[in-house]
Structure 1
Amino acid sequence: MQSPSTPHLQRRLTYRVAGEPVARKYPVTVAIDFGTTFSGCSYKFEDDDEIYDVVKWPKHFGFYAKVPSLLYYKGRANRLVDWGDGARRLALQPGQDGTLIRQFKLWLAKNTTPPPPLLDGQEPVVAISDFLRLFHESVLEQMMRTGAGRYSVDQFGYCLTVPAIWDDTAKATMREAMVQAGIIRADDPPERLVLVGEPEAAAMYIEKQCESWNDMQDQDTFMIVDAGGGTVDIIIYQIDKSGETRSLKEITRGSGGTCGSAYIDNNMRQWLLDRLGSYAEHVSTCTLENIMESFVEKIKPYFCGEGDQYLTVPATMMQLRQHIDDLIDEDGNILLSAAELDSKIYVPVFDQVISLIQEQLDQAPQVNSLYLVGGFGCSEYLYTTVKQRFEPRIPTVAMAPRGDVAVARGAIYHISQPAFIATKILRNTYGLMTRMAFQEGLDPESSAVITSDGIKRCSTRFDIMAFKGQSIHVNQKISRHFWVKYPRNTEADLYVYDGDAPIPRQVTDPGVRKMADFPIRMPPLEGYSVGDPVDIKIDFMFGLAELKVHVFIVGRQIEFVTAFENE
């Protein structure tokens, strides 16, 4: 099956004409923590200090506060019949002819091994929107039981948490999925949906919930290890008490990878398939899912590196025992030795997490505390491994209380204190494609153009606006001014470079890619004649979780649509 591609996305970036009222406030805030393996939700009413967690989900009988990020489709038409725990239960039933879709969030991460397949020809945004639609319907049902009925759904504002390692195309995909799911509308003000980086949300949660936070002083530093099902994001913050209110500064360029707990599951699944060898094709999807269910529920959360474990084999697999008696014992169990579990299932994932933490420590002279958050961050084995490896270097290594809800709750805190994390370190270099004076021997002749002023220029120069590793305030604006002849339309295409080598000179050089098109259509301007110069200013804000752009024509802010490039 071919890998789905990221669709060509359009996103409206600004809606107001200068002078009109600013951002609308929403009396209800709903935070969605869409995860690779599990998803959660918290919400808050403006007239109530309490933050509520959604803990009841359809067909869910456990105590976990999240719902599995699963979908189940049936028939030739691939009809969506269930989601969450319902999808999981269908996959465990024999005789089903449907398809279980899982880990679809991983399709949005760059440079990762392919996640489990989607339906044939299905785009990631479709699977994500299918899940979010049913997820949101369940959330609304629960909210109505705690007083949300006094508000209309139009009064709900949303914040959606996203991994820090995602690029802007992935974030635009999530915004589009929220529209396709019917949670927001395409013509809603942008502030109705706020994207929040998962490490930022986790840092907000730590500040509110961890007692050890109160012992930290001005200029102390702490590391957030946000370990979820699919991704692990790591960043170091410094406490700044120099102003009227305490704030945080990023002091390292955050790093991350696709090494969440889902990869422990994937390692286990591959180990089983390798042991079954040629007989794997005789094991039904239902049987394999039942074995994996037993591993995920009975072994994975409790294994700490010691003690052999046993997986109970479903009766449907016992008929293969005569062919694979070296795998299944007389009692119908599969032996998982502690050494093999450790070396083949857990350690390959833990090693990646350790490497990411070390990468951050190499950038910081001192770290006072490390906090594990996220579903994977609740793992005692991961905590023990990290503590043993880094305790000599980091005095305090701790797990956040209720780390599984830390990101969703932290997103709520972020809405109330958006400037708490005051500065960020950029992970990419950003620039525009512009025409600059041609330099012989440096610029390719193929890029040469003679402009109306008679000057030979290079048409493909990479005009840098912000550098990778640069510290930037979250609300800092980087502006570009230029003029065009009325009534011509124009464009300002944004390019990005994420490498560590010297910054390329041309947008056509290796490693530079177009991130987004900014087509700017000239509005009717009173008092301007054909050929008159028109002043255009573009403000770029790179310090937010999502790129924000404002365009001004002769001082008037205009509405326009941008298209994010396919990956």
Structure 2
Amino acid sequence: MQKDTNVRQGTTVKKNYGSTIDNNAVVFTIYASDKTTPVYTDEDGCFSVGEAIIEISDPTEKQFLEVEFMFGNTEVSGTVDITVHEKLDGGCLKEITRATGGDCGGTSIDAKFIQLLMKVFGAPLIHAMKREQPEAFLDLIREFEAVKRTFTPSKNGKINIAIPYSTLDTLCKQHLKKHLPSTLLSSTYDNCITLKGDKMRIDAFLFKTLFDKTIKNILSLIQEILTRKESESVTLLLLVVGFAECSLAQSEIRKAFLPRRVIVPEESGLAVLKGAVLFGHNSKAIYSLHDQQHYIELHDEAQCKNAFDIIMQKDTNVRQGTTVKKNYGSTIDNNAVVFTIYASDKTTPVYTDGDGCFSVGEAIIEISDPTEKQFLEVEFMFGNTEVSVHAVEKISGNSCQLSFDLI
């Protein structure tokens, strides 16, 4: 999955690999990179994030392995959700735009800090710390969380973070054969990260870079919302939940969206909980209007028509043979399901009838039993001269296929 690709929760990518003869096991070492198109795992900006080992049943012959990568779960990063409300008479709220967001919450900065630690100490050592000394690892993350919230843009010099010195020193001796101070001195960050007692001292400039991408993405999301016609009258921005307490994020948002007023309530981390309690007592406190142009009722259920389900985002770099699988369901009393495939000039299209969207083909699959909802698995194959789509009804095995190119 290429850097900066926007993925939905549950997105999967399957890849096929082969073992080498006489090897009893295959080790899959997973790497991440700061670069958009890395070539080698040992180049600058690449670092290991973990590994998995699978035993080979018959080492005398080449075995074929299918590896599934699952993206978009909460382990990756926190999220930011942005919506627009209008305050009505009587204290009620009307939702003007639906919630829009991305993976740019506070835990994405925690992930950047962990990546920094991996670059300094190596991924195996940090994974060993998580596994063997979880309390020490959590203490380190909690300390970073506290420092993260109070960091200001005017901060200069060094940022002090209390570390589990004894634990890290022991792990350095076990994995790197040297003490903690020597490990830091031999790292590429020896001029930016130093030790003083049980404190790790990080240059403010380096510390700020941990925030840069996340804050940039947040500002971009807010800007995109505010440029919509229905958001023209917005005069106030309300920041809630844990990351809203981050002084640097508050400062950058205030600076970017003057003269709009930015409010951060006390105990903003509890705002969602308090809102849920209020909503439970009075569900009419908030209401919204669905986009009537795309609102339909089907079998007495409210649904959205022409919703664009993004399979592969624009400008994503894919290797030959990359596959994405999605599951869909048929509607009762329909003898067939028509899969109409769309492409778009936009990165995040919402509706298939929106500007820049166009149909590239369709596939039809017959339904074995229209009296009941049937489940369909659709596989999209990328990276060849054509894009191919293969749909299968899970119970009957009925299938259809479509190929097209976008050249």
Q: Higher RCO, 1 or 2 (CA under 8 Å, sep at least 6)?
A: 1
Q: What TM-score results when the alignment is normalised by the length of structure 2?
A: 0.49
Length-normalised TM-score, structure 1: 0.37
